[in-house]
Every structure is written in structure tokens, then in C-alpha cells.
Structure 1
Amino acid sequence: MEFTPALHSEWLKIRTLRSLVGGLAAVLLATAMFSALAGADSEGADFDPLFSVFFGVSFGQIAAIAFGTTAMSSEFRGGALRIALTAVPRRGRWFAAKAVAIAVPVLVVGLVTGGVSLAVGEAVLGAKADGLTWGEELRAVVGCGVYLTLMALLAAGLTAVLRSGVATLSMVIPFLLIVSFVIGDMSGSVADVLPDRAGQVVFHETWDGVLGPWSGLAVTGLWAGAALLLGAWRVRRRDA
């Protein structure tokens, strides 16, 4: 099977599983809801209107990670991977098709989520968001789609390495909620290169540190790329 029909096959798997469709919907709902809540509490000297508008991405990314994890882990249950590799014996081609089938819907939903979060957040902030420029808003909306896609791919790659969705979520979610928020604030510049903190620079109107909006996303992309390379190596080296 060539790449295009392999990609079509993987896309059919995703769109016909209700849990995966629900996961994509959760990305939008969680992000918009928490962005609205953050906008309602927008006081403080370090208030950043752009980050407040996109604050919900910190929660929407959990749904994106769950989507990437579930989409990949479904191949390691019930002999599904053996069936897939019977149709696509070239494992690298199959893995690439799987990654693209995961990335494209998350990117589309992420861009829509960015637009909705911008509208909701600015509506809640009111006059406090008047200082945001069109360029900053566009950068954050595009960054939202790219960031959520990279986090979903990072989770998919780790799932291929561990061959377990439960193990992946048990490792990634505590990392985001504990290491990044707690340890990250105490470790200075080292925390700047963590995948979530680096990527979320794109949601700040102003930022400190060596990474800017796009270089931060590039760092997150390197994390995701490394996870995918390890996942592809794992799939090629181990029996289905």
C-alpha cells in the first residue's frame, strides 16, 4: 500500500472512533472554557492580556495529549498493529501515515480553538484587551494550532515507545502539572526548554528569556520530533 491510501486508512480509524472525535471536541471546549474563566480574574501587576486570552490552552493541551495517546495506543490492542502492517509492511511508511493522520485534525481543531479562544477571551476581558495588536492575535491563534499539534505528536511518539496509553498519560500529565508548574518556577532558565513552557511563549505579549514565540515552538517541535523518531525506531525493532 502506498502512502496516500495508508493515510486514508489511518484517517478512517480516527474519524470512526467516538472517543477520538470526543477528544478533539474536548480540546475546543476545555480551552475556551478556561480562557473565559481566566479572563474573568484578570488582576495583578504581571497581567498579560494575550496570555489571559489563551490561558485555557494549558488545559486544552491535556485533551490534545489524550487524543494523540489514544490514537496511537489503539494499535497495540487486539492485534490491530499486525493487521495494519499486513496492509502496509513498510513500518516507517505506516508510522508516518499514522503521525500525519493524528497531526492534521489536531492542527485544524487547534486553529479553530485559537480563534474561538481569542473571541471568548477578548469578550470577557473587554477594554483590557484593547492593547492587543492584530499581529499578536494572529501569532497566538496560529501558535495555538501548532502547539497543540506538537503536544499531540509528542504524546503519540511516547506511546509508540512505551506501547501503552496508560503509561504515557501517567508520565506526561504529572509532568505538565507538577514538573512544569512547580519545579519549573524554581529551576530558572532550565525550565525554558521544557516542551510546554517553550511552546507557550507564543501566547505571551511580552516574554523574558532566550526563547521567543517561534523559537519556543521550534524547541517544542524538537521534543515532538525526538519522540516520533524513538517511536518509529521502536515500531521497526519490535514485533507487532
Structure 2
Amino acid sequence: MSFTAVLHSEWIKVTSVRAVLGTLLAVPAVSLAVTVLVLATTGASDAYGDDPVHRAFYAIGFAQIAAVAFGTSAVAAEYAAGALRISLAAVPRRGVFYAAKTAVVAGAALGVGLLTSFASFFAGQAFLGEDAIGLGTPGALRACVGAGIHLALMSALAAGLTCVLRRAALVLGLLIPAFLILPFVISDVAGSAVRYLPDRAGQQILHQDPAGGPGAWTGLTVTALWAAAALLAGWAAVRRRDT
């Protein structure tokens, strides 16, 4: 099969498996729900805060959990009931299969991530009245684009790790506490190193003027390196291990 044909088959898997498609659609749903709930109830002055750009993307921290669930479920579906054997029978070249799988996961997450970031930004500003900001505000457009890329990288990281561990529950049980709990547990010991964890580094781009961390695009690069490492580990597992 040509690479284009394999891409098409992987796209069909993403859009036809309800659990996978559901987690993908949950990314904008969660972000918009949290954005509207928070900004519609806190009041304009409280919602504005010291960093108006970061406040506009408050919900991305929740959306990234859905992005992780999407990357995990998209790959874990291959290990359910021996589906991977069928996939590799159709595409014996594991490199082509793995490249197509990860490209579709990352591409779908990027498209939905960009839609999510821009939609959440404009939805949130609708509740802020005179305190609303626009894309022309310094850092706002950068944050919209960066948030979409960040969500795609989180999905890619989860996809690579799922190829290594094979089980969705195990991956989610590892990543979600690592993102939600670990930074607070190790902050006293690790100090500023916490800012280089994949989720924290990528979210630097959501600040108008990132301070005390790797910076906006540098932070996103750190997250990309984490995702690349996970994808390389996933490729090693798929290439060497029997189905």
C-alpha cells in the first residue's frame, strides 16, 4: 500500500471508532465548557487578571487531558482484540504503518487543537465586555497558534507512550497524575525544573510575557522534544516487538 492509502485507512479508523472520535471531540467541548463556565461566572474584573492572555486560555489545561486521551485511545484501539495483527497484515512495512498512524493522530489533534484555541479565545472574550482583548493584543495570536500546537504535541506524546505500554488505562494512569499532581509534589525539591515538564513547558506560550521559565517558543520546543522521545520509543517498540 502507498503511504497515502495508509494515511487514508488510519483516518478512517480515527473517524469510525466511536471511542477515539469521542475523545477527539472532547478536546473543544471541554475547553469551551470550562471557558464559558469560568469567564461567565467570575466577572470581567476577576477574569481579566494580571495576564489577560493567559486568562483567556485557562481551559487549555483541561483540554490537554482530552488530547492525551485521544492520542492514547487512537493507538490503544490497535491492541484491542488483536487489531494490530490485522493492520500489520495489510501494511507489513511497520515504518509506513507507524508513520501514518502517528501522522494522523498528530494532524487530527493539531487541526482540532487550533479550532479549540481560537474558538475558546473568542468565546471567552464575549463575556468580558470592555475588558475583552483581541488577536492584536501582544501575545494573543501567538498563544492561539501555540495552544493548538501544544495540544497536538500532547496527543503525540500519549500515542508514542501507548505504543510502549500498550494499555490505555496504564498510560492515562501515568500521564494524568504526572500532569495534575506531580508538579506540586516535586516543586519544593525540583524547583524551576518543574517548568521543563512537557505540560508546563508547552503552556509557557499561553502567557503574554513568560517569566521564570524556558520562554514561549522555547517551552513549546521542550514539549516537542518530549513528544519526539515518546514517539521514538514507540517506534522501537513497534519495530522490535511481536504483535
Whether the TM-score (by the shorter chain) exceeds 0.5 is yes
Moved more, 21-30 or 155-164: 21-30
Structure 1 moving runs of 4+ over 4 Å: none
Q: RMSD of the alignment, in Å? A: 2.0
Q: Give the residue type in structure 2 aligned to 1:20.
A: V
CA–CA separation in structure 2 for the residues paired with 1:185 and 1:117: 33
**Structure 1 length normalisation: TM-score?**
0.93
Partners of 1:119 and 1:164 in 2: how far apart? 37
Aligned to 1:222: 225
Is 1:22–2:22 an aligned residue pair? yes
Conservation of the 8 A alpha-carbon contact between 2:47 and 2:55: no
Q: Quick one: distance in 2 between partners of 1:38 and 1:183?
A: 28
Structure 1 gap segments, 5+ residues each: none
Is the Cα contact below 8 Å between 2:140 and 2:208 reproduced in 1? no
The equivalences for 1:121-160 within 5 A come to 121-130=124-133, 133-160=136-163
Tell me the percent identity. 48
1:190–1:46 CA distance, 2 compared to 1 (3 A): farther
CA deviations over 1:166-186 (Å, ceiling 9, x no partner)? 100000011111013453476
Corresponding position of 1:169: 172
Structure 2 unaligned regions, length at least 5? none
Change (3 A) 1:224 1:88: same
Does 2:121 correspond to 1:106? no
User: How far is the alpha carbon of 1:46 from its aligned partner?
Assistant: 6.3
Instruction: Report which stretch shifted further, 93-102 or 21-30.
Output: 21-30
Alignment of 1:1-240 (within 5 A): 1-39=1-39, 40-41=41-42, 43=46, 47-130=50-133, 133-184=136-187, 187-240=190-243
Number of corresponding residues: 240
Change (3 A) 1:9 1:209: same
Task: For 1:185 and 1:223, locate their aligned partners in 2 and report how far apart those are by CA, in whole Å.
Answer: 23
